[in-house]
Structure 1
Amino acid sequence: MRTRRRLAVRTAAAVVAGLVALLPAAVPAAADEVRAKEYWLEDYGIAEAWRSTQGEGVTVAVIDSGIDGNHPDLAGAVVGGTDASGAGDPRGQRGIGEVPGHGTLVGTLLAGRGHTDGPEQAGPSARPSGGSTAKATPARDPFGQYGEGPDGIVGVAPKADLLAVSVWIEGQNSGPNPAGVTVDEQVPAAVRWAVDNGADVINMSLGSTSTAWPESWDEAFLYAEQNDVVIVAAAGNRAGGLTQVGAPATIPGVLAVAGLDRSGVASAEASSEGISIAVAAPSENLVGGLPGGFYADWSGTSGAAPLVSGVAALIRSRYPELSAAQVVNRIVGTARDAGRPGFDTLYGYGVLDVAAAVGEDLAVPEENRLGSMAEWIQLYRRGGSAPTPLPTPPDLPAAEVIPPP
């Protein structure tokens, strides 16, 4: 009988304890101030890409702590969901685990739609503060034409739909999953559910302390590959104790995202290093939505990953005939070289260039440059035998469609 190794998985926020400390102290700015902080929209070619695509018709599954679909910037964006942990909301819309607000931060960066004339709110506070004295500084938003309104956060793919898939990531504050379902079990169940319920892209802003992954994950990631789904994963953060990239970012074919600081240089704190990194995207000075309609400044490759997942959604929307492998190759092939010439372990193939990735007349190879899970399984798990995916286990509820508010 093989001894089963338990994989320690963390959210890829810069420092989990630091993020937890940030959330109670976060005092959201007025919505126009929040939008003004989204420097990546202009600096990385996202606004230019919006002239041709905003993610229409694409569904992205966010495997995370759960998403608050009632956040004003996500109104109508979360169209379904589930809980893979056994401890969360059946629709995946209640935050659970070590950082309950993590999934909402990720979801708003990916597919936030903004809103119009939302009331300014005081942020959640650990103790009564007498209210915020911050003054709104109205500014004309150059991106106000996108999304559902000029206020709040507009994500990279503001017209994409989201699936909220909650998993329990344990930590010092949350403890183990009260339902007893391990991460080894939650992750493959979440991936398979996402595939079966129409995900074109899967975002995984979580990372582990090991480059290896449980064998129980193999068939789920193979299933996603065989069903033409793009998977994007955060590389992890050095400041959070992940000095090297860990699974799932090390899985063949998965698009692993490293982090950049505000100046576009590899983040000294918010990015791990490794040979599996594909591209680098902003991971510092980010802003995202929190459950209850709040906002917070944050950092980490947890934020870099949904920016890239959003780009995958833009590409799949504009070029629906492209395979998942070709979508990955577009993102990787158009990245701007940085660091040492060619591929390196900090930037991967380079810095994300969204306008180029969604541009026209771009020839891309058909085979995923980041590898194949099918080939890996055949070589390393089965001694040359052809991999055969297992049937979908009936361990999660069917999709529950969430009507727009």
Structure 2
Amino acid sequence: MNLKNMFLGSTMVAGALATSGCGGSGSSAGSTPPPASAAPAPLPNPSPTPTPVTTPAPAPAAPRPNINYDTGEYRNSVGAVSMNAITAYQAGATGNGVVAGIVDTGIDLESQEFGDRLLAASRNVAGGASVDDVSGHGTAVAFTLAGRRNDTGSHGVAFDAQLFVARGDTPGSCMQEMAGSASDGCLFSESAIAAGVDAARNAGARVINLSLGGDAAGNQVRQALARATAAGIIVVISAGNDGKADPDGFSLPALDAAVSKGLIIIAGSVDSSDRISNFSNRAGTGAAHYLTAVGEGVRAPGAEGMPLLWSGTSFSAPQIAGAVALLAQAFPNLTGKQIVELLFRTARDAGAAGIDSVYGNGVLDLTEAFRPQGTMAVAGTGATASTSVNATLSAPMGDAMTGSLQTLILDSYDRAFTMEIGGTVRSAAPRTMLASALTDGYRTLGAGNGRIGIAVTVAPGASDTAWQPLSLGIDEATRARGMAASIATRLSENLSFAIATSQSGTALAAGLAGASQPAFLIAADPTQSSGFAAAADVSAAIRRTFGQWGVSAAMERGSALDRAPEPMEAARGRWDRYGYYRSTLAVDRAFGAVRTSAALTRLDESESVLGAHFNGSLGGARAVTWFADIGARADLGDGWSLGASARQGWTRASLTAGIAGGGAIRTTGYAFDIGRRDVAVAGDRLALRISQPLRVASGGLDLSLPVAWDYKSSSVSAFRVQRLNLAPQGREVDAELGYARPLGEGQVSGNVFYRRDPGNIAALSDDYGVALRFSTGF
């Protein structure tokens, strides 16, 4: 049985295109070949833009940052441009080390386009004496796949790949393509094609290109193809150039699972605008195995080295084979079946959505094929990684410049990518302090008999009872004592106890101690708050007095709050919660008109660090923090009072997600206030506070991150310790002036505040505002 080489005709004068046989054609633009220095053809796709730091770049092949691949030569290579092969080149993948087999009319042995990349084992498998090409078709196919890059004319897709060429045309069946002549093509026997496929397999080919076509493949060819696919070799077969609804019969072994094993690709042709070529056979019955690539106007030399423009599915096939070589070099762990699956799933959709009867899987596109696919994990750990958000900092960390953090991730194909993970650390969103402080619509209800006090905050009118933290006015805070808890009781003259929901243990302890200080809406006392977004679940406190001394202990269970990473969930106000436990031991003593206090607090966070959450890709950090607090309040007489407090924190973070490392962090906070009662009328109060909320002064996380991957052993070959800095550039300082006075049966109050670097973020505009409130009993 003889099969015709896919060759439409010879080089023709005056740009005419002769069509004969069943294959591709070559033509010059007139009697003179197009000069090598011709201007670049218009690009069908825009030039690739720099890869964002949040998008991983392939790691295995060493990138060549000093090489400019976007040249006139590249732009003349219409197939490479269409598939965006520059994505692979910039990652260091050029086909180097990959053997591509070609069964065709041989190769021009005098050509300089292939150099020592033509394997010495290349041979004539049809009984001829030489592999030298007399037709020009095989040389053009070889160049399209792997023609050299030399800043002249155009280049092949995988320009550093090695070539094994099996010349299989029946001796004497080919005529050299000369200007003004025509040919009926070349004849290939079934035994020669089978021998060529076997020879390519034995030569170590990773991909075999068959730009051949004709009747259905016989048993010898099918068996040879089955042996190749059993060895994991990908075979690319041209679809044929008859413009039919179905591919050539010769390509149909792709549909036979026993032969193809999912490794045979049927190559259709499109133009540089992704339109199916008029001559190309459509996907039809082979749609699931069909992929298109540019097969029109492909610049390549013929038998005598003249650059010609070729058209036919003969030239879309080597584009796809070249793409296979790029992926095989970049990701040596990939099986042939995985490479085929990648090419199909990442192809540009064309025609009807999904796999269709014209374009099959679509148009070859390496842009997405060289990006991670599916679930990503940090190499060597299994910790899931995201290209968007892997950590959310808390308010004490503000705008910390986390710096460059590079790590290796594996996608669902176990391909290694270098990822700039530092760009996926999200700063905390500064809270709108005034709106949350006013808690419009909430009511605080309380009752007591001197020994037991109960206080509850509810939201009237809600369909379900909404429990909120206790909301106390500017005077209520100084009278709170037992009322500062949900339930508080004096067990004896020297012993009192309180429990609460949705209120911190430190506030409970302060209430039991009768700590008197002005209440402010914005400028908080850092020793009485978490310093980060948190919600207390349950708390308890106990206090015992020993003469002038008071000793208090408090326990609290709650959750650090992290705004949801998904935009829609965040817009709905959904928070992710990470549990913590807090315990405090405090002592206080009055020295005349001065009351002093000191406290030691331990904060245990199971999945956060000072309220910041780090995904497993950044170690899944947890932390233990010790806070040392001091405070004093003096009654200066004549209604004046002066208060000050300070907090110093030491945090030790540990990692839980298989990444070695940890970190030490130091935090600070302070507050200073001065106030006076009975300024204008009896019972009024004027107060001013300056405060710095809790802020990281120094420190961060030291992470031992994978930076090199060994595909041979499928393991990390190198780690590097990198610092995730958590100290912000901004420093929030709050100033607030508050005034309150009785009015009828209630109280009217006003507050003016100013926040510099809100949320410890230097780039944010300063925040300021005014609040007026009226409250009354009922």
Deviation at 1:19, TM superposition (A): 6.3
1:349 to 350, 361, 375: 361
Q: Which amino acid aligns with 1:250?
A: L
Aligned residues of 1:68 and 1:93 also touching (Cα < 8 A) = yes
Aligned to 1:234: 238
Deviation at 1:183, TM superposition (A): 1.3
SS class of match (1:249): helix
Check 1:232–1:12 CA distance in 2 against 1; reply closer, same or farther (3 A cut).
farther
Aligned to 1:263: 273
Q: Which amino acid aligns with 1:101?
A: G
SS class of match (2:285): coil
Question: Within 2, Cα distance between the matches of 1:176 and 1:336?
Answer: 34
Aligned residues of 1:238 and 1:244 also touching (Cα < 8 A) = no
Output aligned runs, 1:6-405, within 5 Å: 6=1, 8-11=3-6, 13=8, 15-16=19-20, 22=27, 27-33=32-38, 35=73, 36-52=75-91, 53-80=93-120, 81-89=122-130, 92-95=131-134, 100-113=135-148, 147=149, 149-168=150-169, 170=173, 173=183, 183-208=189-214, 210=215, 212-238=216-242, 244-252=246-254, 253=260, 254-277=264-287, 278-361=290-373
Deviation at 1:23, TM superposition (A): 6.8
SS class of match (2:247): coil
Q: Which amino acid aligns with 1:84?
A: V
Deviation at 1:21, TM superposition (A): 7.8
Aligned residues of 1:109 and 1:153 also touching (Cα < 8 A) = no
Question: Within 1, Cα distance between the matches of 2:32 and 2:125?
Answer: 31
Check 1:298–1:264 CA distance in 2 against 1; reply closer, same or farther (3 A cut).
same
Q: Gaps (5+ residues) in structure 1?
A: 1-5, 114-146, 367-405
Deviation at 1:70, TM superposition (A): 2.7
Query: Which 10-residue stretch deviates more, 334-343 or 14-23?
Result: 14-23
Aligned residues of 1:44 and 1:352 also touching (Cα < 8 A) = yes
Q: Which amino acid aligns with 2:157?
A: V
Question: Within 1, Cα distance between the matches of 2:221 and 2:413?
Answer: 27
Question: Within 2, Cα distance between the matches of 1:72 and 1:154?
Answer: 12
With the length of structure 1 as denominator, give the TM-score of the two structures.
Answer: 0.70
RMSD of Structure 2 on Structure 1 (CA): 2.8
Q: Which amino acid aligns with 2:251?
A: A
SS class of match (1:331): helix
Q: Which amino acid aligns with 1:57?
A: G
Question: Within 1, Cα distance between the matches of 2:274 and 2:285?
Answer: 20
Q: Which amino acid aligns with 1:350?
A: G
Q: Could you give the per-residue CA deviations for residues 60-86 of structure 1, whole angstroms, max 9, x where no partner exists?
A: 011111111432322233123111111
Aligned residues of 2:25 and 2:310 also touching (Cα < 8 A) = no
Q: Which amino acid aligns with 2:161?
A: A
Check 1:352–1:19 CA distance in 2 against 1; reply closer, same or farther (3 A cut).
closer
Aligned length: 313
Aligned to 1:392: none
Question: Within 2, Cα distance between the matches of 1:319 and 1:27?
Answer: 42
Check 1:24–1:65 CA distance in 2 against 1; reply closer, same or farther (3 A cut).
farther
Question: Within 1, Cα distance between the matches of 2:370 and 2:319?
Answer: 14
SS class of match (1:162): strand
Deviation at 1:248, TM superposition (A): 3.6
SS class of match (1:233): strand
Deviation at 1:364, TM superposition (A): 6.7
SS class of match (1:73): coil
Aligned residues of 2:4 and 2:185 also touching (Cα < 8 A) = no
Q: Where is the strand percentage greater, Structure 1 or Structure 2?
A: 2
With the length of structure 2 as denominator, give the TM-score of the two structures.
Answer: 0.38
Aligned residues of 1:153 and 1:289 also touching (Cα < 8 A) = no
Check 1:339–1:55 CA distance in 2 against 1; reply closer, same or farther (3 A cut).
same
Deviation at 1:227, TM superposition (A): 1.1
Q: Where is the helix percentage greater, Structure 1 or Structure 2?
A: 1
Question: Within 2, Cα distance between the matches of 1:258 and 1:19?
Answer: 12
Question: Within 1, Cα distance between the matches of 2:128 and 2:30?
Answer: 27
Question: Within 1, Cα distance between the matches of 2:222 and 2:117?
Answer: 30
Deviation at 1:290, TM superposition (A): 1.3
Question: Within 2, Cα distance between the matches of 1:157 and 1:216?
Answer: 30
Question: Within 1, Cα distance between the matches of 2:357 and 2:223?
Answer: 27
Question: Within 1, Cα distance between the matches of 2:89 and 2:25?
Answer: 33
Aligned residues of 1:270 and 1:299 also touching (Cα < 8 A) = no
Aligned residues of 1:42 and 1:48 also touching (Cα < 8 A) = no
SS class of match (2:352): coil
Q: Which amino acid aligns with 2:280?
A: A
Query: Which 10-residue stretch deviates more, 263-272 or 219-228?
Result: 263-272
Query: Which 10-residue stretch deviates more, 259-268 or 66-75?
Result: 66-75
Q: Which amino acid aligns with 2:126?
A: S
Percent identity (aligned)? 26
Question: Within 2, Cα distance between the matches of 1:236 and 1:175?
Answer: 14
Check 1:25–1:214 CA distance in 2 against 1; reply closer, same or farther (3 A cut).
farther
Check 1:9–1:151 CA distance in 2 against 1; reply closer, same or farther (3 A cut).
same
Q: Relative contact order (alpha carbons < 8 A, sep ≥ 6): 1 or 2 greater?
A: 1
Deviation at 1:222, TM superposition (A): 1.1
Deviation at 1:235, TM superposition (A): 0.6
SS class of match (1:259): strand
SS class of match (1:76): helix
Aligned residues of 1:165 and 1:190 also touching (Cα < 8 A) = yes
Aligned residues of 1:334 and 1:357 also touching (Cα < 8 A) = yes
SS class of match (1:296): strand
Check 1:20–1:227 CA distance in 2 against 1; reply closer, same or farther (3 A cut).
closer
Q: Could you give the per-residue CA deviations for residues 249-306 of structure 1, whole angstroms, max 9, x where no partner exists?
A: 2113310111102321111123444322421111112211112321111211111010
Query: Which 10-residue stretch deviates more, 188-197 or 348-357?
Result: 348-357
Deviation at 1:225, TM superposition (A): 1.0
Check 1:235–1:156 CA distance in 2 against 1; reply closer, same or farther (3 A cut).
same
SS class of match (2:196): helix
Aligned residues of 1:238 and 1:270 also touching (Cα < 8 A) = yes
Check 1:217–1:205 CA distance in 2 against 1; reply closer, same or farther (3 A cut).
same
Question: Within 1, Cα distance between the matches of 2:4 and 2:185?
Answer: 13
